[in-house]
Structure 1
Amino acid sequence: MAEQILVTGGAGYIGSHVVVALHEAGYTPVIFDNFNNARRDVPVRLAQIMGTAPSVIEGDIRDSACLDQAFQAHEFGGVIHLAAHKAVGESVAKPLAYFDNNVGGF
């Protein structure tokens, strides 16, 4: 089995491209996403592109119990963290929410 890489935010725009690139490079990407900013059909579309369905864990990076379960169920060789909030205007309006997710998460 290829080395597993955890991709937080793996169902998002950038994350989904990273998942495909990892697959093409011979890794086994595992998506960890809460689907707040991603479409739920992304894993299905990724399966069509890659020829195999990616593993998906639905969870929030601030949920330590969910992360613990993910790390117990898989032997990750690495983590790519892409589950940050990123809208500049909203970050100014809601700085504590952005801090909680982007700094407190993972």
Structure 2
Amino acid sequence: MVDALTIAVSVAALALAAWCGFAAYRDQPTKDWHFIGMAVVTLLATVQLIVGIVQLARGEEADQGTTIFVSYLIGAFACVPAAGFMSLVERSRWGSLTVAAGGVVLAVLEVRLYDIWGG
């Protein structure tokens, strides 16, 4: 995996978590600009998914197995969009808190991806 990309996804996810956590603290639901932030984080996760699949296709292998690596890649890719959809259902501060939790989960998944790849 590309270490800089993993760091970028993690930092963006934690920034999104802090931003949406602050919105939840202020008793605000997710707004349009939060969804723009989610789109940026999802775009970074999509790039990471593509890079990971390309590296596997070139013959590189994850230290802890390809299946678990691909599973974590897909989970990391789907984490923030799933939280975003859930925040659309819950149009209160809890929707913002759900996105904040999704950002933290994505950052943890990134650490695990780094470990699985052999970092």
Q: Provide the TM-score with structure 1 as the length reference.
A: 0.26
State which structure, 1 or 2, has the greater radius of gyration over its C-alpha atoms: 2
TM-score, normalised relative to structure 2: 0.24
Q: Which has the higher contact order (CA 8 A, sep 6+)?
A: 2
